A and B are shown apart, each in its own frame.
Chain A
Amino acid sequence: MIMKILLSLGLGFVLFLYLANNRRRSPITLIALLGSGSGLVFVWNPELANRIAEMLGVGRGADLIFYCWVMISIALFLTIHFKLRQMNESLTEFVRETAISEARAKKPTTGEC
């Protein structure tokens, strides 16, 4: 029972964080909402996970949750990777245009043309 309460508090906190802070429903938010929401249901109703696993031909509910966790992790990793890549390209472009706009050459000293 203690573990169930701890897990519920953790998952509930994640759910609350995403609902409170992300008005825009990005893929990463939806994945986090789906993961923590279904996690909460399975914590209190583990038989449901077993029944769904059986229906899908996976075996045990624990296996189903593990496979889902792996898939969610990969999806999160790719989402973050794309985001970082996009930010890196924006940063590169910003640094590049700043460098070009501030291009300088040695000022000719007296006597030089």
Chain B
Amino acid sequence: MGRGPLFAVIAAYNEADAIGPVIAGLARVVDRVIVVDDGSADDTGAVSLAHGAELLVHRINLGQGAALQTGIRYALRERADLIVTFDADGQHMPEDVPRMVEALHRAGADVAIGSRFLGGTEAMPWFRRLALQAAVIYTRASTGLHVSDAHNGLRVFTRRAASSIQIRQNRMAHASEILDEVARCGLRFVEVPVHIRYTAYSIGKGQKLSGAFEILIDLMSGRFFR
């Protein structure tokens, strides 16, 4: 199937230890890999360049949502046709990307969202499962979208969807905000089973249970002051 370039956008903050293999894996399945170094204090930028990624550097740490929006805007300016968002900590499988792209085209959708609950997980901590299920309940109630995984960092956007969605939540609430935007813009979405591999590293880098309350407050205030 003929299509324009497929870009991957990775938001990275102090990920020098993990990002190399992530870029190498993605480079096999996408046309260009963009890393947004979100004010890291380590060698994330240098490691990314060494592995062949294109690098954008936030001079200060703004948060994952802000970094993704920066990468998406850059990809759109570089005439991306499809944009994949991918976590930097190595928990996603690059082999899921072609399946998501295929599912997106097959369904004629604007957005493909990865779902670990339709796919599979390795070594998922119980508190993470609990927080994610609470997020699903909140998202279903607030957006009306019947999703099974509201905070999966693996997504594919068509150019039209990426142009419509505006991420204004700089920090972790962006995942729910993206689904809000999907509903608000009337974009068609498809959920695709994906596999998530939790490691001690990714668990350490990921959200704590207390972070769920911060996300909720960010979402509420974002909704109120938008």
Answer yes or no: do A and B interact: yes
Q: Which residues in A have some Cβ–Cβ distance to B below 8 Å?
A: 82, 85, 88-89, 91-92, 95-96, 98-100, 102-106
Segment from B69-77, B92-100, B200-208 that makes contact with A? B69-77
Which A residues lie within 8 Å of B170 (CB)? Answer: 88, 92
Is B54 on the interface with A (CB-CB < 8 A)? Answer: yes
Q: Which residue of A lies closest to B65 (CB)?
A: A92
Tell me whether A100 and B58 are in contact in the complex, defined as CB-CB below 8 angstroms, given that A92-B66, A106-B50, A106-B52 are known contacts. no
Closest chain-A Cβ to B7's Cβ sits at a distance in Å of 12
* Cα distance A92–B74 in the bound complex, in angstroms: 15
Told that A100-B70, A103-B55 touch, could you supply 20 new A-B pairs with CB distance under 8 A?
A: A85-B225, A92-B170, A95-B59, A95-B62, A95-B66, A96-B58, A96-B69, A96-B70, A96-B73, A99-B57, A99-B58, A100-B56, A102-B56, A102-B57, A103-B56, A104-B49, A105-B49, A105-B53, A106-B50, A106-B52
Closest chain-B Cβ to A102's Cβ sits at a distance in Å of 7
Closest 8 CB pairs of A and B: A99-B56, A105-B54, A96-B70, A106-B49, A100-B74, A103-B56, A95-B58, A99-B58
Which B residues lie within 8 Å of A98 (CB)? Answer: 59
* Cα distance A100–B73 in the bound complex, in angstroms: 8
Q: Which residue of B lies closest to A95 (CB)?
A: B58
Which A residues lie within 8 Å of B57 (CB)? Answer: 99, 102
Which B residues lie within 8 Å of A88 (CB)? Answer: 170
| Main secondary structure on A side of the interface with B | helix
Which A residues lie within 8 Å of B49 (CB)? Answer: 104-106
Best-buried of A82, A103, A104 by chain B (most CB within 10 Å): A103
Which B residues lie within 8 Å of A103 (CB)? Answer: 54-56, 74
Is B36 on the interface with A (CB-CB < 8 A)? Answer: yes
> Contact string, B180-194, partner A, CB cutoff 8 A, digits 1/0?
000000000000000
Q: Which residues in B have some Cβ–Cβ distance to A below 8 Å?
A: 36, 49-50, 52-60, 62, 66, 69-70, 73-74, 77, 168, 170, 225
Closest chain-B Cβ to A88's Cβ sits at a distance in Å of 8
Closest chain-A Cβ to B2's Cβ sits at a distance in Å of 24
Closest chain-A Cβ to B62's Cβ sits at a distance in Å of 6
Closest chain-A Cβ to B32's Cβ sits at a distance in Å of 9
Which A residues lie within 8 Å of B58 (CB)? Answer: 95-96, 99
Closest chain-B Cβ to A48's Cβ sits at a distance in Å of 38
Which A residues lie within 8 Å of B77 (CB)? Answer: 100
CB <8 Å contact, A82 and B225: yes
Which A residues lie within 8 Å of B168 (CB)? Answer: 89
* Cα distance A82–B225 in the bound complex, in angstroms: 8
* Cα distance A105–B7 in the bound complex, in angstroms: 14
* Cα distance A82–B73 in the bound complex, in angstroms: 25
CB <8 Å contact, B36 and A99: yes
CB <8 Å contact, A104 and B54: yes
Tell me whether A104 and B66 are in contact in the complex, defined as CB-CB below 8 angstroms, given that A96-B73, A99-B36 are known contacts. no
Q: Which residue of B lies closest to A81 (CB)?
A: B225
Closest chain-B Cβ to A85's Cβ sits at a distance in Å of 6
Which A residues lie within 8 Å of B70 (CB)? Answer: 95-96, 99-100
Which A residues lie within 8 Å of B56 (CB)? Answer: 99-100, 102-103
